[in-house]
Structure 1
Amino acid sequence: MLQILHNPRCGKSRNCLAFLDNSKAEYEIRNYIQNPLSEEELKIVIKKLNIKPIELVRQKEIIWIEHFKGKTLSDSEVIKALAQYPILIERPIIIKGNVAIIGRELEKVEKFL
């Protein structure tokens, strides 16, 4: 079964859910804004995405700009920021076993399924 890390206020995330519904995929939803990921969970997701922690950051968010932009942060510091401010996490994230994608483009989601 798929897991989707979802922010219901995000249009891309809602579109991805609609796509999964139309494709009849079985999935469970985790609203990571209401139920934030721990630093350890973030490390696991980042490993499944096969990216650097900074690649998971929404760098145009006000929180990032005000608190972190222009600073040199270690991977650990980026993960701490994502755990503290889950709004900074790119979305949606679709997890299937040991792999995951950021499902902003539906064509990418379709290939992943």
Structure 2
Amino acid sequence: MITIYHNTRCKKSREGLELVKNSGEDYRVREYLKVPLTEEEISALINKMNISPIQLVRKNEKIWKENYKDKDLSDRELIAVMAKHPKLIERPVVENEQNAVIGRPTSDIEEVL
């Protein structure tokens, strides 16, 4: 089962969803702004992607620039910030049982399909 963590207002996320839909794979959509991820879920995605938490942060968001940009946050603190402010999570994120990717560029999604 494929899961796409989706933001309906984001063009790249909509493009990613189309790619997933057209793949023929079973999938589910989680609108993570409506149903936020827990710290544990964010941590699990980061581990599946084999990235550091800062790589999942949208650093151009106003929330980041005004509140966190100049702070030296630990990985645990970064995960907590993303759980508190889901808008800071890069999008879309697509996962299967073994792997997860940030769908930027959208072609990266093919790795999990």
Bin of the TM-score, shorter chain as denominator length:
over 0.9
Calculate the TM-score normalised by the size of structure 2: 0.94
In structure 1, the partner of 2:87 is: 87
In structure 2, the partner of 1:25 is: 25
Calculate the TM-score normalised by the size of structure 1: 0.94
**SS of 2:54's equivalent?**
helix
CA distance in 2, matches of 1:72, 1:111: 32
CA RMSD of aligned residues (A): 1.0
Consecutive unaligned residues in structure 2, runs of 5 or more: none
State percent identity of aligned pairs.
Answer: 47
CA distance in 2, matches of 1:49, 1:29: 19
Consecutive unaligned residues in structure 1, runs of 5 or more: none
Q: How many residues align?
A: 113
Deviates more, 1:82-91 or 1:96-105: 96-105
Q: CA deviation at 1:39?
A: 0.7
Q: CA deviation at 1:14?
A: 0.3
2:104 matches 1:104: yes
